[in-house]
A and B are shown apart, each in its own frame.
Chain A
């Protein structure tokens, strides 16, 4: 069974998530435009990766010394009515294109895992109208439909899609909000 959410439900749960985020010192912020709330997180890191083989030696060495910034936006898709992640990655303030992004997220150069990144596509941000990459929303409704008892569907969504697809790491301390008394 597929689920959908209204903007009001999303807004309420987003604000809850922001409170939790502040308590665990995570860096999520909120942005609002005409009653539509969405969450923003900027993640800066430097790439530390051992070159696996000679083929990507050069790119790996090039990547080692660079500063990367990934900007994550979590918002409710206006047509599919499910939460989805829009993100952009910058290398030294310059946008990276899709192939390099897949390299960023893929720990080992595993061909099968690489195929999963076909879920990512370039699209226009529905609120800011700029080009972003996004996770295609068509199956998210089905997946979230299996977790209807969750207290906060945004956290569930981020747990399922964040670390595995887009390198979005969630602090483990979030679990303390969900331990049953």
Chain B
């Protein structure tokens, strides 16, 4: 049960100050904005678009990059920052582009409906891993709407009124069946996804340390993991981590730290 409201609220409130710079020749126009870590670019950048309106030819073609790496629209903002900005510099300088949309790397700029359906399919996948999909099929359409609107309008209680049901475990199950998580390695956007259970075969609670062992290859061994901008202690229990530090799409996005 994700009942640690204090931690949940602090996680929810994280914001990264970003400096949007347009890459045009005549003027270095700048727009500052605080981006919620848990949200997606497409939901927060209305004001950016409005500010840079006169440069837009076709609205779909706006895209962002940091240090020449295009920023993906369907990954939460906090994850991209933790992945790409290794020196944690603030504010986050993001370049805005209006042409040469990199189709092979990014999805086309999505409108809110597309983001909503992507968000919901992430929730379905996460619930399939946690509860074999049984909790999410009990939710009605208005609950789906409530989740997305809560995320979009920064309504913590509205969101968690429904999300807490997705974070529940019954008394027979001792934790989720599998944990929805993605471990990003240190080369760009690639991530590792495996079936991870919250308990060992003997029934003990697994910690982050055990997870890092499971994601080790003979070539690379991770020594730590970072999420939401902080390094997670190795002794953290995985079940608690999944319930409390997941992003709103119910996935844990961990950036692995190698030696």
Are B104 and A121 in contact (CB-based, < 8 A)?
Answer: no
Decide if B129 touches A97 in the complex (CB within 8 Å): no
Shortest A89–chain B CB gap in Å is 12
Does B180 count as interface, using CB distance less than 8 angstroms? Answer: yes
Q: Measured between alpha carbons, how far is A124 from B107 in the docked complex, in Å? A: 9
* B206 close to A (CB within 8 Å): no
Query: Which of B22-30, B188-196, B228-236, B240-248 touches A?
Result: B188-196
Q: A163 near B: Cβ within 8 Å?
A: no
CA distance A36 to B124 in the complex (A): 24
Chain-B contact segment, one of A17-25, A57-65, A130-138, A172-180: A130-138
* Interchain CB contact (< 8 A) of B121 among A81, A94, A121, A130: A121
Most A-side CB within 10 Å, residue of B72, B117, B121, B189: B121
CB contacts under 8 Å to A, within B104-120, are 104-108, 114, 117-118
* A79-B128 contact, Cβ under 8 Å, with A97-B108, A124-B74, A138-B133: yes
Contacts A121-B121, A131-B107; A80 near B193 (Cβ below 8 A): no
Q: Which residue of B lies closest to A95 (CB)?
A: B103
The answer, yes or no, to whether A51 is at the interface (CB within 8 Å) is no
Write the nearest CB–CB distance from A34 to chain B, whole angstroms. 8
The reply on A123 being an interface residue by CB < 8 A is yes
- Of B114, B118, B193, the contact of A78 (CB 8 Å cutoff): B193
Q: List residues 105-135 of chain A with CB under 8 A from any CB of chain B.
A: 121-124, 126, 129-131
Check B194 against A122 for contact (C-beta < 8 Å): no
Q: Does B210 contact A (CB under 8 A)?
A: no
| Any A CB within 8 A of the CB of B143 | no
* Among B72, B104, B128, B190, contact of A138 (Cβ-Cβ < 8 Å): B128
Contact indicator A130/B133 (Cβ below 8 Å): no
User: Are the C-beta atoms of A138 and B124 separated by less than 8 Å?
Assistant: yes
Instruction: Please measure, in the bound complex, the distance between the C-alpha atom of A126 and the C-alpha atom of B189, giving whole angstroms.
Output: 11
Task: Please tell me if the beta carbons of B189 and A129 are within 8 angstroms of each other in the complex.
Answer: yes
Contact with A along B184-209 (1 / 0, CB 8 A): 00001111011100000000000000
B125 interface residue per 8 A CB criterion? yes
Q: Which residue of A lies closest to B194 (CB)?
A: A78
- Cβ contacts under 8 Å, B190 to chain A: 129
User: Which residues of A from 85 to 113 have beta carbons under 8 Å from B?
Assistant: 94-95, 97
The CA of A138 and the CA of B129, in the complex, are separated in Å by 11
Contact residues in B for A79 (Cβ distance below 8 Å): 125, 128-129, 180, 193
The minimal Cβ–Cβ distance linking B83 to chain A, given in whole angstroms, is 12
- Tell which of B114, B129, B191, B195 touches A122, judged by Cβ atoms closer than 8 Å: B114
Write out the residue numbers on chain B whose beta carbons fall within 8 Å of the beta carbon of A122: 107, 114, 118
- For the complex, give the distance between the alpha carbons of A137 and B105 in Å: 23
**B contact residues around A123 at 8 Å (CB):** 118, 121
Shortest Cβ distance from A34 into B: residue? B217
What separation, in Å, do the CA atoms of A123 and B195 have in the docked complex? 20
> Chain B: which residue is nearest A97 at the CB level?
B108
Indicate the member of B128, B189, B191 with the most A CB atoms within 10 Å: B128
Chain A residues with CB under 8 Å of chain B are 78-81, 94-95, 97, 121-124, 126, 129-131, 136, 138
6 contacts between A and B (CB under 8 A): A79-B128, A79-B180, A80-B125, A95-B103, A121-B118, A122-B114
**Chain B residues at the A interface, C-beta cutoff of 8 Å:** 72, 74, 103-108, 114, 117-118, 121, 124-125, 128-129, 133, 180, 188-191, 193-195
8 A-B pairs with the lowest CB-CB distances in the bound complex, closest first = A78-B193, A131-B107, A95-B103, A79-B125, A129-B189, A129-B190, A79-B129, A122-B107
